[in-house]
Structure 1
Amino acid sequence: MSRMVPLCTAGGAMVAVVLAGAANPQAHAVGDDREKRSAAVLQELVPSADGPGCAAAVGNKGSVVWEAGRGKADLTSGRAITSKTVFEMASNSKQFTADAVLLLAGRRQLALKDPLSDFLDNPPAWTRNVTLGDLMRHTSGITDYQDLLKAKGIKLTDPAGQKEAIAAILASQPEDQPGKRFSYSNSNYVLLAHVVEKVTGKPFPTFLQQEFFTPLHLRMALSPAVDVPGKAKSYDERGGSVTPNSSPWKQYGDGSVQTTPGEFVRWADNYRTGRIGGTQLLAGVTEGAVSVGDVLRPRGIEEGRYGAGILLLPDKSLVHRGDWEGFHSTFEVSPDRNTAVTVVCNVDSPDSFRAANQLLDIWTK
């Protein structure tokens, strides 16, 4: 049974979010110890259940086969992290932005070769040399808006939204020649969200809801800096001390999708079925992907090629990381696209990428 509830999105707009219950975990054969082994991975990742922690889920062909949580979603109230706890997915939200652009390209409402200047009022000269494909694959050479805002004296504790981020980007100059090399920048995806709004005439959160979340019956919402029902609080841990971590910044396109790990592995099945966007979107996910070199090595990713908001690894698996103000997410899809894993934490956990790999191994071997 599904029900519709309103959630406030960026700009105060109200959208209806489908709260569809995650598929019931599948029954497993007697002697199947995968659930026990998965629980052990989560316990190793979160040794103590008394502090902030993590939730994880595994999906197979669109059904959740295992999900669990460990630790506290809110230290003040003592609320525990469960499989139903909502998290900020941070940069794992980028794949929806990229897929929105691919969806519009499939409808011939735009093309990846189009210059950014086509979608701006009074565009700076340099935007004529940056294509939508450059933005999608992080080869634009544009500085990250977070650095630009901080350079202007705007702190993470100060209010700042989409308008401020885009203004700072357009007032700057690219650090590198467009198309020259991969350089990860959140500015690229904030600009792509603007492009989608310009083309469709709809707020970006509304477009994602109508084109992705509702058709796929996903309990997701794009809600920057909003405490959605059931959401975990995020924390910093330094020197054994844990403090709350939050920011009133309200940018989107680069992040801000709010959901559970179980819903995210259900979303992953679109990479197998192409239910949204069809074969053209699926081809566009990896078509023209560019080498990241060792840029993402600090995030635990040794090598790969960046496509449409997702990394394609040498074994053909898909992976992405997300990190924002105490929230940390890891998302992986197996090479055959049948199995997906999501691990999300509300405090920095350096082993979350390793845990995701372990869970994928458990459920694919």
Structure 2
Amino acid sequence: MQHDIDALMRAYDGKVPGASVLVLRDGEALVRRSYGRADLEAGIAATPTTNYRLASVSKQFTAASILLLAQDGKLTLDDPVRRWLPSLPAVADAITLRQLLTHTSGLIDYEDVMDATDTRQVHDADVLHLLEAQDRTYFAPGHGYRYSNSGYALLALIVERASGQRYADFLRTRIFVPLGMLDTVAFEDGISSVTHRAYGYSFEDGTWQRTDQSTTSAVLGDGGIYSSIDDLARWDAALYDQRLLSADSLRQAFMPATKTDEDDVEYGFGWRITGETLWHSGETIGFRNVIVRYPRQHLTVVVLTNRNEPEPYEMAKKIAALALDRVAAE
């Protein structure tokens, strides 16, 4: 199997932006391997401890934070969003936290209303300020689906208000440290740092160019976490028991709540659901990632990459097929 996976990952090997691949079966690593480089300029190779910007794979941690606060009795999933963020306009009156989690709120995408001439990075609080000026939604809350980075940025702010902690601190103290994910971080420039950091690249004009940050890279709730395949193995383990989330919270996170704009995909809380798989991809400038879980088989595939393309979901499914064939042959 390793030889076949190496063949699939050949384009990531050598002096190019790389990738890290993890295949877990019953909590054990069948494959734990990295390819290429985390930092082209410094010539630093990618390793299983390399931390990549997860982009939207971060959303499952935002959802878990809300579920932890619900378990604490600090909020409920059916709270109106304006209970926590009263500066939102009246058009948001009917939106609930559950709808933010499931992309059924109809909120305007903050990327669409940003000032294109402003090159400063946007933060979660800036997303709120942008949405305060919007007097419309794409559809009536609860009456449609539209993938919403805005919703998850607002959820991060709600975590702060309900917990009394900064969002990055809540993640660290309630999720990362308890699970032993000691190198995982919601990165804030000038406040925190990323150990073993992978930098993002795009292939432009025949060469690899560093494209590590954009104006939206500082928004934490929708995509600001850095992590490694080693730390994500710890996260995956916690999704099989109740060391972090209760059985009811896990059931809600993994239960289809809405159909999406793809015929075979439904959405839970920070997870896409396709047949027997739970998965989520993450795409941002310079990074493409995916986690695909097969809970019934206790199989998980993670592919993290520090390049702008291709999107690795299809690759991960091919790797999973190799692993499932091996399991069937045992």
Compute the TM-score of the two structures, normalised by the length of structure 2: 0.90
Aligned residue identity for 1:253: G
Are 1:42 and 2:42 matched, yes or no? Answer: no
- Aligned to 1:274, the other structure's residue is in SS state coil
Query: Equivalent of 1:244, from 188, 210, 217?
Result: 210
Q: 1: CA distance between counterparts of 2:231 and 2:7? A: 22
Alignment partner, residue 133 of structure 2: 171
Query: Equivalent of 2:303, from 329, 343, 349?
Result: 343
| Residues 60, 269 of structure 2: 8 Å contact kept | yes
Query: Equivalent of 2:60, from 72, 95, 115?
Result: 95
Q: 2: CA distance between counterparts of 1:99 and 1:264? A: 14
Alignment partner, residue 7 of structure 1: none
- Aligned to 2:252, the other structure's residue is in SS state helix
Q: 2: CA distance between counterparts of 1:224 and 1:322? A: 19
Q: 1: CA distance between counterparts of 2:261 and 2:219? A: 28
1:71 Cα deviation after fit: 1.6
- Aligned to 2:203, the other structure's residue is in SS state strand
Q: 2: CA distance between counterparts of 1:166 and 1:351? A: 29
The CA RMSD measured in Å over matched residues stands at 1.9
1:171 Cα deviation after fit: 1.5
Are 1:162 and 2:124 matched, yes or no? Answer: yes
- Aligned to 1:355, the other structure's residue is in SS state helix
Are 1:234 and 2:195 matched, yes or no? Answer: no
Are 1:187 and 2:141 matched, yes or no? Answer: no
The within-5 A match list for 1:230-309 is: 230-245=196-211, 246-247=213-214, 249-287=217-255, 289-294=257-262, 303-309=264-270
1:319 Cα deviation after fit: 0.7
Q: Following TM superposition, where does structure 1 have runs of at least 4 consecutive aligned residues deviating by more than 6 angstroms?
A: none
Query: Equivalent of 1:223, from 174, 180, 187?
Result: 187
Alignment partner, residue 136 of structure 1: 101
| Residues 62, 267 of structure 1: 8 Å contact kept | no
Q: Deviations over 1:217-269 (max 9, x none)?
A: 11311114565121111111134232111236421111111111232133112
The gaps in structure 1 that reach 5 residues or longer are 1-33, 295-301
| Residues 73, 233 of structure 1: 8 Å contact kept | yes
Q: 2: CA distance between counterparts of 1:74 and 1:350? A: 18
* Percent of paired sites with the same residue: 28
Compute the TM-score of the two structures, normalised by the length of structure 1: 0.82
Alignment length, in residue pairs?
319
Q: 2: CA distance between counterparts of 1:337 and 1:214? A: 28
Q: 2: CA distance between counterparts of 1:52 and 1:287? A: 36
| Residues 288, 311 of structure 2: 8 Å contact kept | no
Query: Equivalent of 1:115, from 80, 98, 119?
Result: 80
Q: 2: CA distance between counterparts of 1:319 and 1:196? A: 23
Q: Deviations over 1:125-164 (max 9, x none)?
A: 1221101011000011112212221xx2355x42322222
1:288 Cα deviation after fit: 5.1
Alignment partner, residue 328 of structure 2: none
| Residues 67, 83 of structure 1: 8 Å contact kept | yes
| Residues 106, 280 of structure 1: 8 Å contact kept | no
Alignment partner, residue 53 of structure 1: 18
